Amino acid sequence: MSIVAQRPTRPTRWPLRLIWLAIIAIVVFAFWKIQINWSSLADFPSQLWKYLGLMFAPPDVSTVGQSLSATLLSVQMAWLGTVLGIIVSFPLSFLAARGVAPVVIRLPMRLIFAVIRAVPEVVIAVLMLSITGLTPFTGALALAIGSVGTLGKWGYEAYENTEPGPIEAVRAVGGSRWQVVRWGLWPQVSPEVLALWLYRFEINVRASTILGLIGAGGIGKLLIDNVQFRIWDAVGMLLIVVIIVTMIIDQISGAIRYRLIYGRWALAGYGQRRALLKRRTLERK
Amino acid sequence: MSTELRQRPAKPRQGWKVALSILIITALTVWSAIGVGVDFGAIVRNWSNASDTLVKLSQPDYTFWPETVQALVETVLMAVIATALSAAVSLPLAFLASGVTNPSGWLRRITRFVINVVRAVPDLLYAAILVSVVGTGALSGIIALILFDIGIIVKLVSEAIDSVDQGPQEAALSAGATWTKAGRTAVLPLAMPAYISQVLYTFELNIRASAVIGLVGAGGLGVLIDNVRTFYHYHYLSLIILEILILVLVIEFFSSTARKRLAR
Amino acid sequence: MTDSPQRTDITFEQVEVAYPNGQTGLSDINLHIPAGQMVGVVGLSGAGKSTLVRSINGLVKITGGDLAVGDLHLAGLKGADLRRLRSTVGMVFQGFNLARRTTVLNNVLMGRLYHTSTWRTLISAWAKDDIDMAMDALERVEILPRAYARASELSGGQQQRVGIARTLAQRPSVILADEPVASLDPPTSHVVMRDLQRINRELGVTVITNLHFLDLARKYSDRLIGLRAGKLVFDGTGDEADEQAFEKIYGRSLTAEDVMDAKPALDGA
C-alpha cells in the first residue's frame, strides 16, 4: 500500500463552534462581572471544616424530638399541599388536554399552568404572606398552588401521549365524551399520573422545608432560628433529621411509584425510574 | 352441553387493597390537616386586608425598575456560574455513579449514597447555613446552588448512562481499553445529549432558585424581595415578581427550544 | 501495512464454560487453530458458538481447562494482561456496536485505545500515528471518504465495515467475528464476508467467524467447526461437511432456514 489515498479533511462545524464560543464567553463574563470577595473563597475550606465540626461533632441529640416534630409539620404541609393541588389540578388537567376540551378552554388553562410554574413556590408564599399572613396552612396552600402548575401540565401531557386505539374503541361502542375519558383515556394513564402525584409530593417535601425559612413554620423556621442564634449543634441535628426523613420518604414514594409503573414491588434505586425519567428528560416540569 | 351451567370464576378479592389504600390516604390527609391547622375561616376574615393588598399588588411601580437591575443581573450571573461549575463537577461523578461505567460496586454505592444525602437538602437550606459560613452575598448563593445542582445532575445523568446502548463500550473493552477509556470514547458520546439537556434544565432551575435564594441573604433578587416585603412596598414587590416571571419564561423558552432540538 | 503479526496459535485444551445459572456453555473443547487460518463456527442457536468465540478474548470467562492465545493463557487472566491480550485480538459484533452519535473516525480510533494514554483519551488528543492507522483501516474497507460522517448516517453494511476497520486499527493477529452478518441482507453479507476473507489472505490474520448459515460458512472458511450443546461435533474442511456431518451438528436434515442463498430449497417448498 504505497499509494496513499486522498483522505478527507476534518470538517469544521461552524454553528456548533459558535455556540460553544458564545457559552464560554457568557461564563467568562459572569465570572468577571460578579461581585464576589474571592479572598473569602480561600478561607472557605477551613471555614467549612470548622462549621461542620460545630454542627456534627457532636450534634445536639437532645433536640431530636423537637427537630422531628418540626419535620413532621413540614411533611404534613407537603402532604396537604399535594392533596389540595391534586384536587384542583385533576379536573383542570383534562380541560387542558387536546381531544377533551375545545381550544378556547385549553389554551387559557395551559397559560395559567405555565405562569404558575414560572413562579417559585417561595414567591407564591411571599404573596400569601402579604395577603393572608403565613401559617402552616397558608404554606400548604402555597404548595397547592405551585403543584397545580406542574401537575396540570404533566396531566395533560400524559393524556395527549396515549394510544388512539382504546379511545376510538369507546367511541365506536357509542360512549359519551366523559365515558371516553373514563374508559378510553384514564386506564391508559392512571399508573403514570398516580406516580407523578407521588413525585410531586417528594418535591413538596423539599419545598415545605424552604417555606419555613420565610415563616410558614416547620423545620425551616426552627432551622433559621437556630442559625440566627448560632446554635450550631442543634442545626446539625436538624440537618440529620431532615436528610433522614427526606430520604425515607423518597424511598417509600419511589418504591410505590415503581410498583405503579411496573406492577411489582422493588426498592426504587438508581436506574429503576426510567418511565418517569423518560418524561422528565423530554419535557421537564 | 349448553344446558350445563358453567362455573363462573370468583371475582378476585382485590377490594381490601383499594380500601386499605384509601384508608391510609385519608388518615394521612386528616393527620396533616389537623397538624397544619386548616382554617379557611381565617382567610375569609382576613379578606378585607387582602383585597387592599391585592389592589396594590396589581399595580407594579415601574419607576422602581432601575433599582432592580443590578439584582436582576446578579441573579443571572449566579445561575450561570453555578450551572457551569456544577456541570463540570457532575460529569465524572455521574460516570462513577453508574453501573455501566463503574465496575466497582463499593465505589458506586458510596458515590450514590453521598449524592442522595446531598440531594435531600433543599437549596435554600444550604444557602441559609452558608450565609453564616462565608458571609452574605453571591458567593454563598453560588455554593448553595452548586451543591443542589450536583445532586440532580449526577442522579439523572447516571440514570441516562445506565440506559445507553452498551455495545460500543463492549467493543472498546474488547479492544483492550480500560473502563475509563471506554467510558470516555464509547459511552460519553451516547450520554452527551442527556447530559446537555440536564445541564440546560438545571440552568432553568437555577434561574428560579437564584431569584429567591436571596431571601436568606445569599444575593440576587431575593435580597430585594426581603427588603421590600419587610417595608410593605407591595407596588415594588409586584414589579420584582413580574421581573422573575418574565426572566424565567424567557430563559425557559430558549432552554426548552434547545432541549427539544437535542431530543431529535 | 502489516507489521508481520507474530504467529499466534490458539489452543483449547479441555475447555469448560459453565454459566452462573448452572447452564453449560462449553464442555471438553479441544482445538488447535494455527495462525492465519480462516475458521467458521456453525451450530444451532444456543449451541455455544458465541461462547466459544467470546472465550478467546475473555469476554466470557472459562471455568475449566486451558485456553491459550499465543503465549497468554486465558484462565485467571485479568487487568492489564487481559487488556494486552484483547489489544491483539479484534472483535466484530453482530449489532456492529458503534457509538452511532459520533464520527466514523472516532469509532475506528477506539481500536487504538489500548495504545493511547488515559489523559489523551479524556481530551480526545489522538496521536498522529493512531489517526494514520485508523485512516489506513478505513481505506482497506473502502469507507475512507466517510471518515468524518456520523456513524448513524451509514447503511448497515457500511456500519459493519466500520466495525471491521475498528478491529483492523488494532493491528490484530486474530479477528473474532460474532455473527457478523446476522443483521445484514444477503448481498451485503457477501461483501462483508469477502472483506474478512481478504483481510485473512492479505494480512495473514486468523479470522474466527461464527455464522448461522451453513453455505456462507462453507464458502468463506478454510475450516469448519460444528458445535452442538456445547460440545465439538465436527471439525474439518467445508467439503467434508456433508449431509451426515450436518445431521451431527444440527440433529436434523438441512432446511431452507439453514442456508442464505437457498434457491433449490425455496423452489421445492
Phi, psi dihedrals of residue C98, rounded to the nearest 5°: -95, 150
pLDDT at B5: 62
- Is it the case that residue B47 has pLDDT exceeding 70? yes
Q: How many residue pairs from chains A and B have C-beta atoms closer than 8 A?
A: 202
- Is it the case that residue A168 has pLDDT exceeding 50? yes
Min Cα–Cα distance to chain C from B76, Å:
30
pLDDT at B36: 83
| Share of residues in chain B with pLDDT > 70 (%) | 96
Q: pLDDT (tens digit, 9 = 90+) per residue, B178-231?
A: 888 888 988 998 888 889 988 988 998 898 888 888 888 888 888 888 888 777
pLDDT at A1: 47
pLDDT at B220: 83
- Is it the case that residue C167 has pLDDT exceeding 50? yes
Confidence of residue A268 (pLDDT cuts 50, 70, 90): low
| Share of residues in chain C with pLDDT > 70 (%) | 95
pLDDT at A3: 54
Q: A-chain residues within 8 Å CB-CB of B97?
A: 270
Q: A-chain residues within 8 Å CB-CB of B42?
A: 132-133, 135, 137
Across the range C1-15, mean pLDDT stands at: 70
pLDDT at C263: 52
Which of B38-47, B112-121, B150-159, B223-232 is predicted least confidently?
B38-47
pLDDT at C6: 58
Whole-number mean pLDDT of chain B?
A: 85
A114 at the B interface (CB within 8 A)? yes
pLDDT at B4: 60
Min Cα–Cα distance to chain A from B138, Å:
6
Chains that touch A (3 or more CB pairs under 8 A): B, C
Across the range C188-193, mean pLDDT stands at: 88
Between C24 and B88, residue with greater pLDDT? B88
Q: pLDDT (tens digit, 9 = 90+) per residue, B93-140?
A: 999 998 888 887 889 999 999 998 998 888 888 888 888 888 888 888
Report the distance separating Cα A182 and Cα A176, nearest Å.
10
- Is it the case that residue A274 has pLDDT exceeding 80? no
Helix H or strand E encompassing C174: strand C174-178
Which of A223-232, B36-45, B104-113 is predicted least confidently?
B36-45
Phi, psi dihedrals of residue C69, rounded to the nearest 5°: -115, 110
- Is it the case that residue A204 has pLDDT exceeding 50? yes
- Is it the case that residue C74 has pLDDT exceeding 70? yes
Q: pLDDT (tens digit, 9 = 90+) per residue, A108-154?
A: 999 999 889 888 888 888 888 777 777 888 889 999 999 999 999 88
pLDDT at B2: 52
Confidence of residue C154 (pLDDT cuts 50, 70, 90): confident
A7 at the B interface (CB within 8 A)? no
Across the range C232-247, mean pLDDT stands at: 81
Q: B-chain residues within 8 Å CB-CB of A259?
A: none
- Is it the case that residue C56 has pLDDT exceeding 80? yes
pLDDT at B240: 87
Q: pLDDT (tens digit, 9 = 90+) per residue, A187-198?
A: 888 888 888 899
Between C6 and C91, residue with greater pLDDT? C91
Report the distance separating Cα A58 and Cα B218, nearest Å.
27
- Is it the case that residue A277 has pLDDT exceeding 50? no
Q: C-chain residues within 8 Å CB-CB of B184?
A: 121-122
Q: pLDDT (tens digit, 9 = 90+) per residue, C109-122?
A: 888 888 888 888 88
pLDDT at C208: 93
Contact status, residue C57 vs residue C91, Cβ threshold 8 Å: yes
Residue of A nearest to C142 (CA): A5
Min Cα–Cα distance to chain C from A42, Å:
28
One DSSP character per residue, C201-256 reads: HHH--EEEEE-S-HHHHHHH-SEEEEEETTEEEEEE-TTT--HHHHHHHHSS---G
Longest distance between any two alpha carbons in chain C, whole Å: 61
- Is it the case that residue A161 has pLDDT exceeding 60? yes
The CA-based angle A166-A157-A199, given to 5 degrees, is 110
Across the range A35-39, mean pLDDT stands at: 77
Report the distance separating Cα A201 and Cα A85, nearest Å.
10
- Is it the case that residue B18 has pLDDT exceeding 50? yes
The closest alpha carbon to C89, from C145, C170, C201, C35, belongs to C170
One DSSP character per residue, C58-115 reads: TSS---EEEEEETTEE-TT--HHHHHHHHHHEEEE-TT----TTSBHHHHHHGGGGGG
- Is it the case that residue A183 has pLDDT exceeding 90? no
pLDDT at A276: 44
Residue of C nearest to A13 (CA): C148
A10 at the C interface (CB within 8 A)? yes
One DSSP character per residue, C12-27 reads: EEEEEEE-TTS-EEEE
A3 at the C interface (CB within 8 A)? no
Q: How many CB atoms lie within 10 A of CB C217?
A: 25
Whole-number mean pLDDT of chain A?
A: 82
Which grid coordinates are listed for C220?
468463506
Report the distance separating Cα C206 and Cα C8, nearest Å.
8
- Is it the case that residue C243 has pLDDT exceeding 80? no
- Is it the case that residue C92 has pLDDT exceeding 60? yes
SS3 B15: helix
The closest alpha carbon to A207, from B212, B222, B146, belongs to B212
Mutation target among B32, B54, B58, B118 for the A interface, most CBs of A within 10 A = B32
Using a cut of 0.90, tell me whether the model's pTM lies above it: no
SS3 B218: coil
B212 at the A interface (CB within 8 A)? yes
Given CA atoms C101, C106, C110, C114 in this order, what sign does their dihedral have? negative
pLDDT at B95: 92
- Is it the case that residue B151 has pLDDT exceeding 80? yes
